[in-house]
């Protein structure tokens, strides 16, 4: 995938490599990274309205705060913006870690935007799926330390984002739930969703979880290792930054090579099968029966509200 960013053409396919080691540099200013409106993405209009990215140059830590109303659903626009922001941080020698969180006090992310999968052309579906892949490749393959501060519910694609991080801290609230619930919608989590979960909670728990489309309360997510820690909602960012400083105490090169060693086979599996994975998604999502399921699910979501 190629993007134009600040006049630089970036060709991306995951970031972790034994050569991509950043040097440690600090500055004393605090900047707000907002991509210029003039940035372009494959010739389409681009806006950076779904998240803010704040880099603290003292610590080398960036906070990506998702802010797409109402529930941070992962639309094509959102995913595109996310991948460009991650690429930008990855290229910034001063950024060593990213905390991913939400401005919505109850929802981390509602997962993939179902409207992007319902009633769309095969071309649109293919483009959307490539963007979902790119989001995961950027996050799972990042050289930076990545911490998910899960301050609300996080179904499906939202859970995938958290799984792609190095560490997960969830707000200790029994109302919040997290999991890969795809089967409940009549759809199937692709192999790289499944691999991401296996790498965090193991094979048996993943099989159980995926077949039943289980959503876990925060405390049950902690029990099965789907999240690493629970903390009070109002302490989640402070805690995430404190955990980040522990991770950043490890020399970057050693940690990055270790991360690459652990994650490369999983990344390579998608990179090798990227086009067939897109084709598979397009064929699957275009089926009448799947479209019907998604329509009913969308209607159910809207009715639930009233």
Ligand X SMILES: CCCCCCC/C=C/C(=O)SCCNC(=O)CCNC(=O)[C@H](O)C(C)(C)COP(=O)(O)OP(=O)(O)OC[C@H]1O[C@@H](n2cnc3c(N)ncnc32)[C@H](O)[C@@H]1OP(=O)(O)O
User: Closest-CB residue for ligand X?
Assistant: 111
Q: What is the CA radius of gyration of the chain?
A: 18
For ligand X, give the closer residue by CB, 254 or 300: 300
Q: Are 300 and 163 in contact (CB under 8 A)?
A: no
For ligand X, give the closer residue by CB, 210 or 257: 210
Q: Cβ 162 to ligand X, closest distance in Å?
A: 12
Q: Positive or negative, the Cα torsion across 118, 305, 173, 83?
A: positive
Residue tagged active-site, from 60, 141, 157, 158: 157
3-state DSSP call for residue 24? coil
Q: Cβ 299 to ligand X, closest distance in Å?
A: 9
Q: Are 88 and 31 in contact (CB under 8 A)?
A: no
205/225 Cα distance (integer angstroms): 10
For ligand X, give the closer residue by CB, 107 or 270: 107
107/29 Cα distance (integer angstroms): 31
Active-site residue flag, 7 = no
Active-site residue flag, 182 = yes
Q: Cβ 129 to ligand X, closest distance in Å?
A: 8
Q: Cβ 137 to ligand X, closest distance in Å?
A: 16
For ligand X, give the closer residue by CB, 159 or 243: 159
Residue tagged active-site, from 55, 76, 182, 270: 182
How many residues are listed for the chain in this entry? 306
Residue 63 Cα to chain centre, angstroms = 13
For ligand X, give the closer residue by CB, 78 or 145: 78
97/94 Cα distance (integer angstroms): 9
Residues 6+ apart with CB under 8 A from 217: 174, 176, 177
Q: Which helix (H) or strand (E) holds 154?
A: strand 154-155
Active-site residue flag, 119 = no
Residue tagged active-site, from 112, 137, 160, 185: 112
Binding site for ligand X (CB under 6 A): 70-71, 73, 106-107, 110-115, 153, 155-157, 181-182, 185, 187-190, 280-281, 284, 301-302, 304-305
Q: Cβ 68 to ligand X, closest distance in Å?
A: 10
CA distances from 15 to 2, 78, 114 (A): 14, 20, 28
Active-site residue flag, 157 = yes
Residue tagged active-site, from 181, 185, 230, 267: 181
Cite the active site residues. 112, 157, 181-182
């Amino acid at each position: 995938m190629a993007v134009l960013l600040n006049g630089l053409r970036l060709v991306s396919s995951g970031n972790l490599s034994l050569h991509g080691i950043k040097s440690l540099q600090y500055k004393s200013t605090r900047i707000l990274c907002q991509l210029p409106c003039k940035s372009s993405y494959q010739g389409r209009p681009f806006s950076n309205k779904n998240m803010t990215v704040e880099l603290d140059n003292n610590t080398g830590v960036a906070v990506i705060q998702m802010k797409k109303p109402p529930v941070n659903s992962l639309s094509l626009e959102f995913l595109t913006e996310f991948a460009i922001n991650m690429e930008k941080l990855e290229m910034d020698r001063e950024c060593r870690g990213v905390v991913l969180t939400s401005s919505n006090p109850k929802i981390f992310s509602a997962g993939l935007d179902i409207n992007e999968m319902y009633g769309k052309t095969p071309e649109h579906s293919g483009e959307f799926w490539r963007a979902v892949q790119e989001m995961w490749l950027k996050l799972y393959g990042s050289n930076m330390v990545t911490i998910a501060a899960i301050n609300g519910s996080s179904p499906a694609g939202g859970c995938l984002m958290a799984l792609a991080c190095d560490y997960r801290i969830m707000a200790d609230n029994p109302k919040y739930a997290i999991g890969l619930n795809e089967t409940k919608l009549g759809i199937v989590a692709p192999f790289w969703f499944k691999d991401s979960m296996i790498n965090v909670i193991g094979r048996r728990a993943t099989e159980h979880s995926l077949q039943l489309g289980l959503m876990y309360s925060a405390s049950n997510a902690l029990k099965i290792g789907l999240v690493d820690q629970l903390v009070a909602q109002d302490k989640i960012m402070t805690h995430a930054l404190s955990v980040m400083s522990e991770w950043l105490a490890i020399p970057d090169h050693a940690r990055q090579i270790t991360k690459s060693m652990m994650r490369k086979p999983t990344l390579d599996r998608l990179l090798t099968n990227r086009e067939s994975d897109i084709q598979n998604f397009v064929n699957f999502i275009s089926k009448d029966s799947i479209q019907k399921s998604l329509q009913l699910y969308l209607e159910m979501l809207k009715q639930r509200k009233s």
